[in-house]
Structure 1
């Protein structure tokens, strides 16, 4: 059995671990949380902070793994990419290319210089153009965070310095980006790249209904019209060709504003919060397996035609800190599958810092799907220390 290393051990990584075991690999894991789900699955676990690429490289050289696989968080992917560049492993771009995609300021600068639509940005304090009163509202974000943390919306210049301070606190590099606020619908696009072209793609509608910058509800199939899909396909293949992307997943979040799509974030790691289950349940394609295959030097395996089964996904979160004892979800769906993230009686931090559970629910029709996904938060009843029922 070939020995491989999975870098990350959280609940989102568990289905990746299961997939690798089923594919016949001898699974090793690394991470500094010995109680995480994947640890008990591994043939051997190495307990250390994998965000340190030097420690990761030392382990990989010592154990002579046939492959190392990033999981569903930025620390994992960015550390693995540095090791992969040194060792020449398949399925990875250069560190330089990866940073263009994963740094919001660099990505927007690159995309706009090649006529790929993105929100307008300002390099505040550099002596270049600064926002005018007519440019507001604006968003101030950390350049290297995909969690929705550290984002501030400004209606005018008051509070700009405080917003920059907050963004820096949530940034690994202590850097930020100021960008135009786009009002529109939010969506994502998972493209599996082969020789810089899209081999297979999946569109998803997304909603932020508890915390304004963290997706908590989504549905597949998407309700997007075909013209927007064509434009996104063109933008992504153009981006892939310009950067010479390696085979593998390119996951992009975008906003459709006044009928025009704007790319907001791109990543090459696997999305978290069980996003892969949403696409797999809806299309019956093996999202996880095809994410892993390029790192293993294997070709994609997709169905000849995607299914169109109406599935929605919802992450249960809260607007305020609370001790959560349980919850219930209003019926009406054909099927609901629950994935527990916290123990009863745990103190759960408010969104975007805490999560109670994730559930996926199947509807009978696309009409039901599109009507219900955006109001899934209203269908959840939480039993907490604030509840009058306790």
Structure 2
């Protein structure tokens, strides 16, 4: 029986561990603390900081681990791929690629000027004067989960936004990006030998009071997207960043039917989209990913005509207070729901503004779209 190590124990990693358990693998998990459901889902758990590469490598050797992987975490992916390269374990992308996708400055520098790229500047200076026309987004260069992000509409707001982004950056730098007018989508894809073999686009609905923070993902086959532009932008980034195999997730803005890549990463997203996709068309992307990674079985994807339009809606709340789930009304027809906490638990800050505390999955009603 192969031994698989998952880095992290949050709900998204717990889903990967549970899938591996169902597939008959022996599961291991690491995290700094036993503070997520993946710790109990794994057959073996240890408290080790996942970015402590020396300690993680020692754990892999001691336990004769056959593969190390993660989902939903840009922080974990560079470690997983670096150690996989060093220890000759299976992996989809190089450490260099995983690192670039976890560092917005590196990713933007590598993809500058290609199809779907966005104008940007890098700075550590709160007094930086941008040449990009307002409004702009200001982000940490190495952040995730919407931490430290600001939408800036005037020059007077820029210094505070840069300071906030720098404070949330491990490397102490901010990236200023052109704000793309238009609507926002998520693209979940799968790459085999350098080519997109699966592409699914979903609408991203964000909280109006918190720009960029996700409220809902909606998959509806009746929604028309400029697929040629979207796939061209994704493919250009895949080739430039050398994402040759495995899952890929992109956050995309569409303006005048032209797609712009906001973020792209060679992993599953942190929003449980593989679950939504399985409800939509029965494609088990998580299972196919592990068969590809662990057994070398290249996936095929359904062309199923019968699909089920579906919504994933997040429950969100201000962090650093106790959670009261009674405030949330379960949508009609809900097929799955999940709570990140127990009733009355303290909400941990992730983005620090309006954090996810759970989700509902339910059929799309036409009046919602």
TM-score by length of 2: 0.89
Which stretches in structure 1 are left out of the alignment for 5+ residues?
374-390
Which stretches in structure 2 are left out of the alignment for 5+ residues?
none
Count the aligned residue pairs: 362
| 3-state SS of paired residue (2:356) | coil
CA distance in 1, matches of 2:142, 2:308: 34
Q: Tell me the residue number matched to 2:159.
A: 161
- Relative to structure 1, the CA distance from residue 59 to residue 348 in structure 2 (aligned partners, 3 Å threshold; closer, same or farther) is closer
CA distance in 1, matches of 2:276, 2:121: 36
Q: Tell me the residue number matched to 1:122.
A: 121
Deviation at 1:195, TM superposition (A): 0.7
Deviation at 1:177, TM superposition (A): 0.3
| 3-state SS of paired residue (1:217) | strand
Q: Tell me the residue number matched to 2:248.
A: 250
Give yes or no for contact 1:188–1:252 (8 Å, CA) kept in 2.
yes
Q: Tell me the residue number matched to 2:198.
A: 200
Deviation at 1:140, TM superposition (A): 0.9
Give yes or no for contact 2:230–2:258 (8 Å, CA) kept in 1.
no
Give yes or no for contact 2:145–2:350 (8 Å, CA) kept in 1.
no
User: Do residues 47 (structure 1) and 47 (structure 2) align?
Assistant: yes
- Relative to structure 1, the CA distance from residue 191 to residue 163 in structure 2 (aligned partners, 3 Å threshold; closer, same or farther) is same
1:1-390 matched pairs, under 5 angstroms? 1-113=1-113, 115-124=114-123, 131-132=130-131, 135-209=133-207, 211-221=210-220, 224-226=223-225, 228-306=226-304, 307-318=306-317, 322-325=321-324, 326-329=326-329, 331=331, 333-348=332-347, 352-353=351-352, 354-363=355-364, 368-369=365-366, 371-372=367-368
CA distance in 1, matches of 2:350, 2:88: 39
CA distance in 2, matches of 1:320, 1:69: 29
Deviation at 1:142, TM superposition (A): 0.6
CA distance in 2, matches of 1:16, 1:271: 12
Backbone CA RMSD of aligned residues: 2.5
Give yes or no for contact 1:187–1:253 (8 Å, CA) kept in 2.
yes
- Relative to structure 1, the CA distance from residue 321 to residue 293 in structure 2 (aligned partners, 3 Å threshold; closer, same or farther) is same
CA distance in 1, matches of 2:47, 2:286: 25
Deviation at 1:200, TM superposition (A): 1.3
Q: For each residue in 1:271-297, what CA deviation from the matched residue of structure 2 results, as whole angstroms up to 9, or x when unmatched?
A: 123222111111110021123333314
- Relative to structure 1, the CA distance from residue 139 to residue 358 in structure 2 (aligned partners, 3 Å threshold; closer, same or farther) is same
CA distance in 1, matches of 2:351, 2:268: 19
CA distance in 1, matches of 2:221, 2:133: 31
The structure whose Rg is larger is 1
| 3-state SS of paired residue (2:279) | helix
Give yes or no for contact 2:215–2:313 (8 Å, CA) kept in 1.
yes
Give yes or no for contact 2:233–2:259 (8 Å, CA) kept in 1.
no
